[in-house]
Each structure stands twice: as structure tokens, then as C-alpha cells.
Amino acid sequence: MNKIDLKLGGLTCANCAGLIDEKVKRLDEVNESNLNFISSKLTFKIKEEYDIQESLNKVVKIVDDTEPGLVIELLNSSDLNLKIRNRNQKNELSNLSTGKEDCHENKNNSDFEVSDKKILMSAVFLYVLLFLAKKGGLSETIFNIGMIVTYLIAGREVLISAFKNLFNGKVMDENFLMTIATLGAIAIGEYPEAVGVMIFYGIGELLEDKAVDKSRKNISSLMDIKAKFANVLIGDKIVQKNPEDVEVGQEIVVKPGEKVALDSTIIKGSSSFDNSAITGESKLVKLGEGDSVLAGTINKDSLVHMKVDKIFSDSTVARILDMVENASVKKAKKENFISIFARYYTPIVVVLAILIVILPTFILGQDFTKWLYRGLIFLVVSCPCALVLSIPLSYFSGIGLLSKNGVLVKGSNYIDVLRSLKTIVFDKTGTLTEGIFKVRDIKLAKGVDEYQLLKYAYIAEMNSTHPIAKSVIAYVKAINKDDFNINLLESYEEIPAMGIIAKYDGHEILAGNSRLMEKYDINYEKIKSNSSKVYLACDNYYMGCIEIYDDLKIGTESAINSLRKRGVEEFIILTGDSKENARALAEELSIDKVYAQLLPDQKVEKVEEIMSKRVEKERGLAFVGDGINDAPVIARADLGISMGQIGSDAAIEASDIVLMKDDLNTLARAIDISKYTNKIVIQNIVMAIGIKVLIMILSMFGLANMWMAIFADVGVALLAVLNSLRIFRFK
């Protein structure tokens, strides 16, 4: 698949965006497509068997035909040398540099915007002047001629677009329907109303564009976490480079007040850093040599030198921006409903408008003019822009706010699942606990020397990457200055969920949990405590036990209580740890159920079992984990949540939500934001559909006029957009 990203500058019509998206999806050449109206970005994948250049030309033509005059920028071309059709040069092809932002356009949008404002204001002035003149004795004929002139001035853009769309077969376009409705009003002598409606429509569109632009800026400010440049140290000179051009291993200098451009490690100096843009927590963190710093973090105090660990595309900032920008691909049920609703709503309303004119007139013999006017009101109300625009905007605003709070959501559909969570399943280590293991106690069997026990423990654990093994190695190294002869190690084998068998200098060493001891019939002394235990045996003789503790994360208990208050009814722990440890933790946190000593595949089976027993299928289940072993079960749950700061790449990739700060309290905050976002979405749906239906019903009884109809169109769209902006004010 070849992925192409196009930026559609000047895209202000949500309905048109939906049409472009639908048409691109229907192309045989395109496997997958998504148009994010908020970011004005069209992303599509071209199937391998099709010519990429020809496919790109078809997509550009669709954009041109549907919404002429957009500024098209090629943001990404998958390292392919592509060309894009230039509309200014009669279909000649102009080269675009790979991966650069080039564009083509029919007109200067900003100049037209200023011109449109002036024309609209002149129409308003003339409209008011004509009414004043009529009161002063202006004849009806001159007044009507003036109104027609004012109508042409106010509706210039609408009339031109409607005329063009007619030849393109777009008879359900808002401009065409508005033109028919107002020309119909003029035909029955309602000159002032036709002009007023066109002026009101223009003002409404202008205000709506401003509101959309405001929302885009709000979202952009939330996502303004990328450094504009990196200070790269080359020899004894500092050269400013685009972060995307900096390579791994290069040295960068970060001055006070600057953002860290790439994920790096401090090699010289120390400073306080603000990582609130990444984690949502505005607490300063003091970091020095050897410490890792994430891209997007702000250096607050002192100049530091860093070595780049990852290229920009692999950095934390790039992943955050990619997740948020592509979140619109996975749509919520309400968004999908609105897309389907919009597809059928306009044709149905237009048919109703025709029936309202025909049935009473030709069947019941009533006044044609009266019912034509009522039918024209239906045409004005027939555009679903308020819904098509405000619902995706509400969800995208919610996703942006969640990101600002350190919670990355990979799709608006997960916001709906998040707000309805009833069951949360936790991994234990690194999720509820710190994930930092420390040796606290050693229990020796009778006649066993501690040095010998630690020596065998070191030999057994030295090749393991498990956190418990690392804690044992660190402990032994800290208290023992002798170097063990590791060359005498003859064999090494890890037994999943049990431990290790190693042969060393002719001896067989067993290091692991109680199941390993029982498997090999070792007569061991079982220790009862809430620690993790490494039992040691050599040549079938029990030597003792090393007790390791993993402390509960600060704030975990308060997080569980906060989640209960937000409607979560059941909490479950799935862990590979012992039953004793798991039960002790469950009692401490008042967890409802606990399943211990599970392998990764058994965790998946257990989650599937829990999900299958749900009476209500809509009751969401989330799994929260951090390690690579959690990736399969994270992917299986209704909502997979990973702890981003210490979580593995595999877990983050498989998850639907990433908590950038390893604090479960951010999950409670995320639920609050998701519920508020849903509240705004419901309000917009009820308001948009409710007012439109109300105006249509009133018009059938002659109780509504075109002013009310235009309010039901652009007025409601504006109110819905403004209502969506309230999400940014959520505290």
C-alpha cells in the first residue's frame, strides 16, 4: 500500500468534506481513506496494483470538482516522486519535491475572504438603506429593483457556486438549494425576505467559519508540542536544524526556555524540565547526566547537552501527534450515525418539500403560492451541516483535551467506550505497583551459607531480563565484591511462569517460585508473606528463599476510589504473580476479584471469559497494563489501556488509550472528559435535529418563515460549533 497525505487548505464546508471522503472511498484504486475536517487532512492508501500517479490525479480531480479553489499541499508521498495537476496551467503537470509542502490553487483565499466581507457589508448597508428610503416614499418598483440588486450582491458567491454545481450534477448542494429557495421567494414577491435570508446566510457562514477557525486554533495550541528546531553541535559550532533532519547519536544543545526537539539522554549539565505537554502534569522534574528526556519537554533552568536517542519519526512527540491526528479514522457510533443520517436527510427533506407544494395544490386545490413558500422553507432547512460539522468537531476537541491531560486516545469510538466503563481489569506489576523490585529479606535453610545462596542466585538469574531477576543481580552486586566465574555455566533454561534451571560447575541450580520447587519435588519451606519469592535449590537440596517487594504506586488507592465514583462497578487483577501476593494487594485496594499465576495467553482467555459473561454487551471492559506480555490482552479488551512512560512499545502499539503519566488518576480524569464530550455531542444532535424538525412542522402549518428556516440552517450550525468549543473550557 502507498500512503498519501494531502492538506486541503481553505476547506470550510463540512458537508463538502464528507462528499470528498465518500467519493475517494468509492475509487477502485483506494483501499482506505479518511478526511479529517478539523485538520483539513485527506489520507488515503492506493492499492499496489494501481498506478500511483494516475490514482493521485483522480483524487485531486474529485477535490476540485467537489470544492473548487482549495489549496492542495502534498504532505507525504511515501518517498515516491509524484506530480500533482496544476489547475492554473490548463492541466499541465508541475513537479512536487518529495515530502515537501507544495500547493496549487485557483484563487487567493485570503484576498477573497476580505473581499467577501466587504461585499456582504455593502449588501447589508444597501438593504437597510432601501427600507429607510421606502419609508421616505420610495416607489414599490424601485424598491423591488433595489432588492434584486442587493440580492445579487449578497448572493454572488452562492449563485455562482450553484450555477457551477448544476453542471457538475450537484443538485443537492447547499448553494443550489439556497438559490432555488430564495429565487422561489422572489418569484412569489417576497423580495425583502429573499434578500434578508441571503444576507443572514452569508453572515452565518462567515461566523461559522470564524468559529471553526477558532476551534482549529484551540486544537492546534493543545498540540503545539513540537520544537521548531534543534541546536545541533557540529564541531565547535551550533547549527539550527529541522528536528526531522537530526540523526541518532548527534549532540544537541538545549537552552533554558527551549523545547527538547528529540528523545535524548543528557550527557552534560543538569536542569529542571517541564513535561506537562506530554504527561499533563505541570510539576518540574530535576534531571542530570545519564537521564532520558522526552521530546516536547521544556528546559526551564540551565543549558544542557544531550545525545539523540531516536530520530524524530520515532520520538514521543511524533507518536503523540500521529495518534491524535489519525484518531478521526476510528469514528464513534454517533459519528457514523450522523454520516448515514446526512446521506439520506437532504434527499428526504427535498422530496418532502416537493410533496408539500404538489399535494395541497394539485390534489386539494389550495393556493399554490402559499404552499410553494412553505416548500421553500423545507429546502432551506435541508442541509445537515450543523450535525456534519459539530459532531466530529466535538469528538476531536475531546481528543485534543485528553491529549493535553496526558491521555492519548486513538479514536473517537474509544471516548464512547471510556465513558461507559463498568469493568476494569488490571495487570499488577508496573500498573498497580511501582514495578521496581527490591530485595528486602533472605531466609536461609538450615546449614546453608548466605554467600553460597547468593552466588547460586546470581548464576541462575544473570541471563534473565525479568525485573525480579534484575533486582537479585543488583542486590548481589551491591554486597558482594567477588567476581563469580560465569565461564563454568554449562546450560541455562527459563521455564515460563516458574523460574530457571541452570547447570553450573556440575551442579543443577533451580531458582523460581513455589511451582518450580513442586515440579521438581523439592522439599522446601513455604514462606507466607505478600512478597515475591525466589526459592533456591541446588542438586535437589533446598537452600533458602530471597524475598522481593514491589511497592504499591502512590495514589493507586485513591485512583480506584475515584473510578468507583465515576461508575466503574467491578475491579479485577490478572497477574502472573503468586496467589498470596495478588490476594494481599487485592485486599489492600478492595479489588473485587483476583486471578493469579497466569501466563500471557491465560490472561487473554480470562478476559474473554469475563467478557462472555456480561449480561449487557454495551458495558465496557478495559484492561490496563504496561509490559510486552500484556500486549495480547490489551488488544483483546473492549478498551486496551497502556501505561506510556514505562510501558513497552508493543503494549503502547496494541492499546487504544495511552496514559503518558504512569498514574491511574489520569484515567479517572479521562472518564470525566469523555462524559463531558458525550454530553456536548448529545446536546448538538438534539439541538440540530430538534430545531430543524420543529421549523419543518411549523412551516407546514404556516407558522414559520424563511428567517426561521435560515436560523435552523446556519444559525444552528453556528450554535453547535460554539457549543463544541465549550469542551476546551472543561475543568
Lowest mean pLDDT among 35-39, 293-297, 436-440: 35-39
Q: Is the pLDDT of residue 94 over 60?
A: no
> How far, CA to CA in Å, does 120 sit from each of 113, 153, 262, 490, 536?
11, 7, 48, 87, 85
Cell of 518: 513442586
CATH fold of 434-551, please? Calcium-transporting ATPase, cytoplasmic domain N (3.40.1110)
Q: How far is CA 649 from CA 319, 463, 653, 721, in A?
A: 11, 22, 6, 37
pLDDT at residue 649 is higher than 70: no
Is pLDDT at 672 greater than 70 in this prediction?
yes
- What's the CA gap between 638 and 116, in Å, rounded? 49
Class in CATH terms, 407-432+553-660: alpha beta
628: confidence class by pLDDT, cuts 50, 70, 90 = low
Active site residues: 427
Q: What would the pLDDT profile of 203-227 be if each residue is shown by its tens digit?
A: 888 887 777 777 777 666 666 778 8
The pLDDT, as a whole number, for residue 545 is 96
Reduce the DSSP state of residue 492 to 3 states and report it: strand
Average pLDDT, the chain: 84
Given a contact cutoff of 8 angstroms between Cβ atoms, the answer to whether 312 and 259 are in contact is no
Say if residue 631's pLDDT is above 90. no
Taking 80 as the threshold, does the pLDDT of residue 673 lie above it? Answer: yes
Q: Looking at residue 104, what is its pLDDT?
A: 34
10 Å CB burial of residue 367 (0-12, 13-18, 19+) is exposed
Q: Does domain 2-107 have CATH number 1.10.443.10?
A: no
Give the domain ranges of the chain. Answer: 2-107, 111-218+330-394+678-729, 230-314, 407-432+553-660, 434-551
Residues 6+ apart with CB under 8 A from 185: 191, 193, 194, 197, 373, 376, 706
DSSP letter (8 states) at residue 360: I
More confident position, 513 or 649: 513
SS3 call for 596: coil
Q: pLDDT value at position 625?
A: 86
pLDDT value at residue 11: 82
Identical topology for domains 2-107 and 230-314: no
Mean pLDDT for the stretch of residues 371-400: 85
Lowest mean pLDDT among 45-59, 498-512, 553-567, 614-628: 614-628
Residue 80's pLDDT band, with cuts at 50, 70 and 90, is: low
pLDDT tens digits for 135-178? 888 999 999 999 999 999 998 888 888 888 777 666 677 788 88
Contact 528, 448 (CB under 8 A): no
Domain 230-314 has CATH 2.30.30.60: no
Q: What are phi and psi of 298, to 5 degrees?
A: -105, 130
What confidence score (pLDDT) does residue 509 get?
A: 95
Q: How confident is the model at residue 125 (pLDDT cuts 50, 70, 90)?
A: very high
Q: Which residue has the cell 544531550?
A: 306
The pLDDT of residue 170: 67
